[in-house]
Structure 1
């Protein structure tokens, strides 16, 4: 009532006209920011996006876009949709129907025009590096289905019967997608072995999976664990305790060894599945260290005017009884507006309690799901990170694809690599690329502080340091040649083949996947890790990962990040 009175007073008497809707959203958002990062007011468009993420479908053209230095840019074109109409990663959008994409145009503006009723047409004008002029394509909007299973394939020797599934989220149909993928892999394994065996092992890749629906997490876990098993429970101050159990026979044969791949980006619903697999000893968790550690439950309530309130109501617990929430948010602390971070503290190691898996293995709460078998974290040189973040490889790939034909068994030769180095050199001299960019912010801050203190000599030394960084970065072209060549190959091939084929190709050089294949092929090692008395402190794989993908902050035409996107219970 008081809030309503304040709004009415401002609307009636403030010196200038005010937007009361905006004032309301600002006030409510500020109030909720004092709690935790997951408690949010969802305006109409945000609520609509969240609902579309849950449903796993929307009316549009199948483009993932982001705001970059050169404008609104295509990050990915979906196979079966925009990809089939010729759009590619790196395309710069110039106009969509009547909307001219100007420097002030937002991703949201473009997304709203790209979306629409299935069957309607949309005209897209774009620029592509290496191609003169503006390109033009008209395509129909269709019902775009967002698949959570991005890839299902046999890995290693086909006759070995080891399957791989990439699971990127937990939308409404995730359980059915995983079920279909497992059945297809079982048939493929039988065909590859001439009927000698079905799947001997399965790799479920949930690295970078931010979560989604509780029901979908239960659906996926039920495919892997014994019928009647506890999967997850939840309880809170004003939230009735609930427990979810598997009510169906698992589709995965008990003789099929299971490895679940995780990393720090594995969160929420993905941690429910990982925790159930670990606690019930039905598989081995393979990862660099541990998962994100989001053990909070959100409820989403519909509000008037197609808006919604998402707020934290409970914590969830794995079958062993542990809560994997890794962060305590300080009461009343909320968001620090200066650094954009929530005032919080991690659960101290001494306070992490011991729990036991079904077979008696030791696990702990308060820190995500720790890997049973640890593989060294991916590493990349500063040069490689800079090149990936700058989008220079996509620019080079676009120009290369206009000049050359792709051959069978394509690889980046030394000639192509030298051509790329020359391309980078031109960009550096023209000021379009700064090889010291990874350190530029810190160096500029240092130089500014030195200038304010009057330390002119030290300022010059900072400039010399920048020059030295550029020199050493150029030396890294030879030192990290193998890794950079692979990045260039991926960028070039993305002009010709869809994401699923790129993913399948990358598995051959994915050390975590390759280590999981070795583990599944070794009955003795696999059984030893699951044996009673072992802990999840992790075995060490003999891995040195020398390549990585740098994830940019992208905005998807079709969905928000699904770290809990539900109008029921949300994880």
Structure 2
């Protein structure tokens, strides 16, 4: 940006600001003040332009010139036509690969979608969808969204978008996002095929703000035990979580299960605020330290919080990362909660976004964070990204997912909780009570049915073909509905049409799990995520063990101090 351009922007701002402040309620000094400040700013810019020279430029100048020279040779003299811009993008990525696995470059075309993942809302038409049989299938119009207001129904198939056919053309989730999301207030026309209608229905939708939720489920397991499932730490995670916590307390909750399994993290601030609901004032929650002191900080609990007392359990597994580990580590090190499950992922690096001139973004690691006892839970990444990302496979083959004894710790990385219990750094949060991975009901056959969307396709059709189920309450459905053998056979037949060969042996092994999954998906389609998890959690060994421990704290034996399960 040139100096003339900057000066023009300042003058434009001056005129706008002068008009804003020039009213009868402002003194002449108040009117002149923005002008005086801006003149000083202009002088500063001129001085900076004439005298300032970034010290780092000389250090990299030779490398920059070499890179530019290489690109010019390639563009002008290479035997084939080359997309030099693409080469530059790859060069950036290769450079960042030398740093750590979590420092990433996001190109302009991907930035909007990436940024929307943790925001409270996104702009779109408001449908939960699935791609089945190469067709965009509306699972549910989101309450209060443009699609629901326009009359789009669950079960509708969107076949055109702005007169472009999207059915039968191999559409992807990314294409759907690009076509249906867009600036708030803009319009999009969709063509819908609906059961019982002979012609395609046309809808003009005005895109709006669609809320994104972080709390998947919140319900009472019994008269005392409450359950909250959090899927990520986003802009409104804390507000959603606190509302769920207040609701459960009003219902008589005295014991809480906080489920962070497969929660890959998000904003550190949301994790800190969540911990503040549980920890006593002055308790250290997390600290971070970077190469630059400006990134060093500590976070402590305040006197706020509505669950400083009461039994607390946190569920984690190998998919729990980042902000999830901040919560688990803070509550473990302060001896506030019982951590149940398997060793968490091991991400102890903090990223900060940096905007680049072309509209892209650099998310760069600027610090490491530490739990209250002082441990870093970042797992090693010296062997490269391939090894880093294959960690789950290594845990599986080493037996770690099945036996606590297969996990070996470095005694040099041993720390103590506030109560004197030993905990370890160097790679994830090790739970206080280990729950092995249960593969008894799993099979290649059931995985293929799930991966091919066969079960999803069947449950959506089943809901649409049985409207009488909507007359039931969620609790009535859960208590009364049973998945029949005929339903299993129908799913098997759909799978065979897709080339998934029936395996009687594997079907027998996975049948009970399959029944729970079918019932849970129908419950979600009919009611909500609470209904889904009330059914599906019956297949979750970590959840079931958590309930068992709350009901029988004596089962803890020597693994951990049983007092953690009792109310303070």
Provide the C-alpha distance between the structure 1 equivalents of 2:364 and 2:213, rounded to a whole number of angstroms.
27
CA distance 1:200–1:74, change in 2 (3 Å): same
- CA RMSD, Structure 1 to Structure 2 (Å): 3.7
Match of residue 175 from structure 2: 109
Deviation at 1:425, TM superposition (A): 3.3
Deviation at 1:282, TM superposition (A): 0.7
CA distances 1:70-99 after superposition (whole Å, capped 9, x unpaired): 36666876454488455558x765322233
SS in 2 for 1:171: coil
Provide the C-alpha distance between the structure 2 equivalents of 1:135 and 1:427, rounded to a whole number of angstroms.
30
Pairwise mapping of residues 56-205 of structure 1 onto structure 2 (< 5 A)?
Answer: 56-63=120-127, 70=134, 78-81=142-145, 84=148, 86=152, 88=154, 93-101=158-166, 103=169, 105-125=171-191, 138-156=204-222, 158=223, 160=224, 162-189=225-252, 199-205=253-259
In structure 1, list runs of 5 or more residues that go unmatched.
Answer: 190-198, 436-469, 535-571
The question of 1:374 aligning with 2:374 is answered no
Provide the C-alpha distance between the structure 2 equivalents of 1:352 and 1:65, rounded to a whole number of angstroms.
50
In structure 2, list runs of 5 or more residues that go unmatched.
Answer: 1-63, 396-406
SS in 2 for 1:304: coil
Deviation at 1:363, TM superposition (A): 0.7
Q: Which moved more, 1:254-263 or 1:509-518?
A: 509-518
Pairwise mapping of residues 519-530 of structure 1 onto structure 2 (< 5 A)?
Answer: 519-522=549-552
CA distance 1:64–1:358, change in 2 (3 Å): same
Provide the C-alpha distance between the structure 1 equivalents of 2:197 and 2:515, rounded to a whole number of angstroms.
23
CA distance 1:163–1:404, change in 2 (3 Å): closer
Deviation at 1:427, TM superposition (A): 4.3
Deviation at 1:309, TM superposition (A): 1.1
The question of 1:225 aligning with 2:291 is answered no
SS in 2 for 1:321: coil
The question of 1:388 aligning with 2:450 is answered yes
1:179–1:251 CA contact under 8 A, matched in 2: no
SS in 1 for 2:296: strand
Provide the C-alpha distance between the structure 2 equivalents of 1:131 and 1:529, rounded to a whole number of angstroms.
62
Pairwise mapping of residues 332-343 of structure 1 onto structure 2 (< 5 A)?
Answer: 333=384
TM-score (norm 2): 0.73
Q: How many residues align?
A: 477
1:322–1:355 CA contact under 8 A, matched in 2: yes
Provide the C-alpha distance between the structure 1 equivalents of 2:487 and 2:227, rounded to a whole number of angstroms.
36
Match of residue 325 from structure 1: 378
> Considering only CA atoms, is the larger Rg found in Structure 1 or Structure 2?
2
CA distance 1:320–1:110, change in 2 (3 Å): same
Deviation at 1:295, TM superposition (A): 1.3
2:455–2:491 CA contact under 8 A, matched in 1: no
Provide the C-alpha distance between the structure 1 equivalents of 2:231 and 2:307, rounded to a whole number of angstroms.
23
Match of residue 23 from structure 2: none
SS in 2 for 1:216: helix
Higher RCO, 1 or 2 (CA under 8 Å, sep at least 6)? 1
Match of residue 52 from structure 2: none
1:299–1:313 CA contact under 8 A, matched in 2: yes
Deviation at 1:126, TM superposition (A): 5.5
CA distances 1:145-181 after superposition (whole Å, capped 9, x unpaired): 212222222222x3x2x22211111112222222222
Deviation at 1:278, TM superposition (A): 0.2
Provide the C-alpha distance between the structure 2 equivalents of 1:390 and 1:218, rounded to a whole number of angstroms.
39
Provide the C-alpha distance between the structure 2 equivalents of 1:385 and 1:16, rounded to a whole number of angstroms.
45
CA distance 1:271–1:341, change in 2 (3 Å): closer
Q: 1:404 aligns with which of 459, 466, 472?
A: 466
Provide the C-alpha distance between the structure 1 equivalents of 2:482 and 2:329, rounded to a whole number of angstroms.
44
Deviation at 1:134, TM superposition (A): 6.0
TM-score (norm 1): 0.73
